[in-house]
Chains A and B, each alone.
Chain A
Amino acid sequence: MLLALLGALALAPFYWLLTPARRRRDVLALASLAVLVAYDPRVAAVVGGVALGLFAALRAMRVPSTARHRVLVVGGLVALAALFVWNKRGARGGGVLPSQGVVLLGVSYLVLKATAALVDGAGGADRRPDLGEIVAWLAFLPTYPAGPIERLEHFAPQRPGFDRTRALGGLERILLGLVRALLVAHYLGVWSDPILAEPAAHPRALRLLALYAFTLRFYFDFAGYSDIAIGLAALFGYDIEENFDNPLVRRNLVQLWQRWHMTLTGWLRRHLFIPTSRALLRRGWPDALAIGAAQLVTMVFCGLWHEIGWGFALWGASQAVGLVWVGIVARDLGRRLPHALVAWWRRSPVAYALSTALTFNAFALPLVFVVSSVGGGFRYLALLVRR
């Protein structure tokens, strides 16, 4: 990763000095594809195949025909779902795609991006991008391995032009990302990994602290890579959507998830939560049940998108329960409790600190199922309460 980053930094001045403005997007697309080919030609082939398929589908959608749109969306989604599952199988050594982490993750992001573009296209998106825009967007190297999940309608209309302030801001952002991902996250991992691997061999307080450290590592790692992606994109003239906004210091899980991996949660909201909850409401489901079921579907999908397994599904379900608690149960409680008490809870610094700590735990403790397995996770949690 560092080598690719250093290469990009070294090439940036030549990109601005030697590339005509109208060719910058194409040069970036070709450079991104060249790096992917060098890494593994099959990945570049997947990117090219998805880009061509998406371009053809969006072009066919110019004809206003609901039936045609439906066939194209269903066919496209089936193909993308198959690609996603094959990719995940590749992680276990049984698939057709490479099994190395970064590129593997890239394909998962690719699938989400293409799905959104396909569905938005069928929904009557105003703009029909050309093939060059689609390739540049899908292969864009800064965001390819780990997001942010940039939307086509946000990326495609941009025409990179040099802006000194943006470029310098990009360099600062890259530096911040390197510190977060390669320094803070790394040392949190160095400290916590041995405890997470053998919790019984360590004191109870350390078992809990190790889980907190893992949560912070997860955040600094992911937010750091997002910083690098956003900074690198800025250096090459693109504004990329933000991904994190201090999510771990929020006072409830809804607020946390509104600021954690925001481009993923935006995707989940637009393409899963809203359609599912509204479909259930239209079928006459009570509000609370429809919202709860949609939260469960959305968050379990979120878990499985990261990794197909029971541990990730359980982690997603735990977050859905927390979101339902905040969005429905706690609100209902708020209506029944004395107004003065609710007002105190909303304004008191003590209540703020308490709810922020509770929220952090509601996010951090279920991550044990991601660190381990379902059984291992429950054993770890049991070790937190006994000596």
Chain B
Amino acid sequence: MGADDRELAAMILGFLRNELALDVAQIGEHSALVTTGILDSAGLVRLAALLERRLRIRIPDRDINAENFDTIRRIQTYVKHRAPG
């Protein structure tokens, strides 16, 4: 995992802990967030907004789903795919 991935993972965990008041001690990069219901639709929308704001990327509505957002690893992969250049 590179430095960018680590920063992104820390950002996501910080969001889950501070904004959604979740206990992140047990959440790893492969923990399912959406399919287990840990991250609900409202949390998903807020996380997407945070990623757009911080990383200056555009996430289409149709991409906000479990396929792209179920784990921290998947989010990292998706963000790389969306990042310019």
Contact = CB atoms under 8 A, between A and B. Distances in A.
Interface stretch (A181-189, A216-224, A326-334, A356-364): A326-334
B37 A270 contact: no
B45 to A, nearest CB: 5
Contacts of B42: 254, 277, 291, 295, 323, 327-328
B60 interface: yes
B47 to A, nearest CB: 11
A278 B49 contact: yes
Q: Which of A294, A327, A334 has the most CB of B within 10 A?
A: A327
B20 interface: yes
A278 B46 contact: no
Given A254-B40, A255-B37, A274 B21 contact: no
Contact of B62 (A123, A281, A287, A328): A123
A291 B21 contact: no
Contacts of A269: 41
A327 B43 contact: yes
A342 interface: yes
Q: Which of B40, B45, B60, B65 has the most CB of A within 10 A?
A: B45
Given A274-B64, A278-B61, A327 B49 contact: no
Interface in B34-68: 37, 40-46, 48-49, 60-62, 64-65
Interface residues of A, number: 28
Contact of B61 (A255, A274, A334): A274
A281 B49 contact: yes
Contacts of A255: 37
A343 B22 CA distance: 10
Contacts of B61: 274-275, 278
Interface residues of B, number: 20
Nearest to A334: B21
Contact of A281 (B20, B45, B65): B45
Contacts of B19: 331
Contacts of A275: 61
Contacts of B21: 331-332, 334-335, 342
A346 B23 contact: yes
A260 B48 CA distance: 25
24 contacts: A123-B62, A254-B37, A254-B40, A258-B37, A258-B40, A270-B65, A273-B41, A273-B45, A274-B44, A274-B45, A275-B61, A277-B42, A278-B61, A278-B64, A291-B42, A291-B45, A291-B46, A327-B43, A331-B19, A332-B21, A334-B21, A335-B21, A343-B23, A346-B23
The 10 nearest A-B residue pairs measured at CB? A334-B21, A327-B42, A331-B21, A291-B42, A277-B45, A123-B62, A254-B40, A335-B21, A269-B41, A258-B37
